[in-house]
Amino acid sequence: MDMNFFLPVKVIFGNGRIRELGSLVVGNRTMIVSDSVLLELGFVSEVKEEAGRTDIIEFCEVEPNPSCETVDRAAKIGREHSVDTIVAVGGGSVMDTAKAVACLMSNTGKIKDYLDGTRTFTSRKVRLICVPTTSGTGSEVTNVGVYTDKSSGVKKPMVSEFFWSDFAIVDPELTFSLPKGVTASTGLDALAHAIESYWAKSSQPVSESLAIRAIDLIMKNLRRACIDGDKESREGLSMASLLAGMAFSQTRTTILHAISFPLTNVYGVPHGFACALAMPEVLKLNYKVIGEKLDILIRYLGFEDVGEFAVAIEDLMIVGEAPRKLSEIGIREEDLDGLVDSSLSSPIAKLNPANIGRKELREIFEHILQ
Ligand SMILES: [Fe+2]
């Protein structure tokens, strides 16, 4: 068999390891990219302190599902100050924004030129350090960014060889105070990354190994992290999110993420909840095609059969207070055809092992409508 594996990110994992940030910052000017919530909670000033610099520029305006305008605004500030190091402090939206900003600083134009495919990034001179504050996105170890074009309302993923960060500091302590809703949604996002990477047509032995361990850690820790939020379960989820990110950085995701895009864009469902909505149904459908492969995973997790695994996923959705039916988020029967079409327009839908066309997806949606 042929296989490629490439992951050029230096990963620093462990409680309190944010304190190593100062030794990683280079040049004269550092810019922290974050959001207003983390600024308010004091995360930005904490990281600023660890960076050990006084001349740090802050850009804390990243919104969930970052727009092209936000990226361009941050890049303008970075260019004006000739920034040498960018430190992304936050979840997926923040890290995705920082990746694009770092690249735009070494290239001309706006993010839309690159998102449309009119231009391609040819270099990146700015050092990029990612510090995730949630356990889910895995963006710190992927070369993917997702941006929203406000004019069309379309959320579009983009891949670039210059999107790999130089360093990922994964410090579980930064996730200790996450509220339950964020823990649940980001944890289910990580589960989708791992399970989709595992079953993707593009999977290979290294990504499968990472994915299988990530799924096990999530099944063991997500419930506890939602209910107790204890240190050990938080650490388990931080590792799971990292491993899941590594896995899907090699394979991409499949139909669950394809479905999530319209659910988030049109119906405002948080990303992880949107990824999980059809997970039990798609799992059972994929089992009919790659049952033997899924049995390896199911046995590793200690479940009797695929039905028991699907029930365990549903249980996590219940504990996390995630929507389980499309009607709960305002979707009616007459909306299903549109939802099918926009889900299938995403190229990653084709990476799903079972062939899911219009008919099959419509059936899945009817099953989880109410
Ligand atoms: Fe995701």
Could you give the CA distance from residue 154 to residue 105 in angstroms, rounded to a whole number?
A: 24
Average pLDDT, the chain: 96
Give the right CATH number for 10-174 from 1.10.8.60, 3.30.360.10, 3.40.50.1970, 3.30.450.20: 3.40.50.1970
Confidence of residue 51 (pLDDT cuts 50, 70, 90): confident
pLDDT for the residue numbered 12: 98
Residue 47 CA to ligand 1 centre (angstroms)? 25
Residue 253 CA to ligand 1 centre (angstroms)? 8
Confidence of residue 313 (pLDDT cuts 50, 70, 90): very high
Residue 117 CA to ligand 1 centre (angstroms)? 22
How many Cβ atoms from other residues are within 10 Å of residue 213's Cβ?
A: 17
Mean pLDDT across 291-303: 98
Residue 80 CA to ligand 1 centre (angstroms)? 32
**pTM, full prediction:** 0.96
CA distances 177 to 21, 62, 135, 164, 231, Å, are 21, 20, 12, 28, 10
Domain limits, CATH 1.20.1090.10, in the chain: 178-367
Close Cβ partners of 217 (under 8 Å, ≥ 6 residues apart): 236, 237, 239, 240, 243
Residue 276 CA to ligand 1 centre (angstroms)? 10
pLDDT for the residue numbered 245: 98
Residue 275 CA to ligand 1 centre (angstroms)? 7
Mean pLDDT across 338-348: 95
Mean pLDDT across 276-298: 98
Mean pLDDT across 225-230: 96
Mean pLDDT across 5-14: 97
Please give the distance of CA 88 from its chain centroid, rounded to a whole number: 14
Domain limits, CATH 3.40.50.1970, in the chain: 10-174
pLDDT for the residue numbered 149: 87
pLDDT digits (tens, 9 = 90+) for 62-105: 999 899 999 999 999 999 999 999 999 999 999 999 999 999 99
pLDDT digits (tens, 9 = 90+) for 112-138: 999 988 999 999 999 999 999 999 999
Q: Of 42-51, 250-259, 265-274, 335-344, which gets the smallest average pLDDT? A: 42-51
Confidence of residue 298 (pLDDT cuts 50, 70, 90): very high
| Phi, psi (deg, nearest 5) at residue 322 | -85, 150
pLDDT for the residue numbered 1: 82
Residue 193 CA to ligand 1 centre (angstroms)? 6
Residue 22 CA to ligand 1 centre (angstroms)? 30
SS3 43: helix
In the CATH scheme, what architecture does the domain 178-367 have? Up-down Bundle (1.20)
Residue 272 CA to ligand 1 centre (angstroms)? 6
Confidence of residue 151 (pLDDT cuts 50, 70, 90): confident
Confidence of residue 154 (pLDDT cuts 50, 70, 90): confident
pLDDT digits (tens, 9 = 90+) for 239-274: 999 999 999 999 999 999 999 999 998 999 999 999
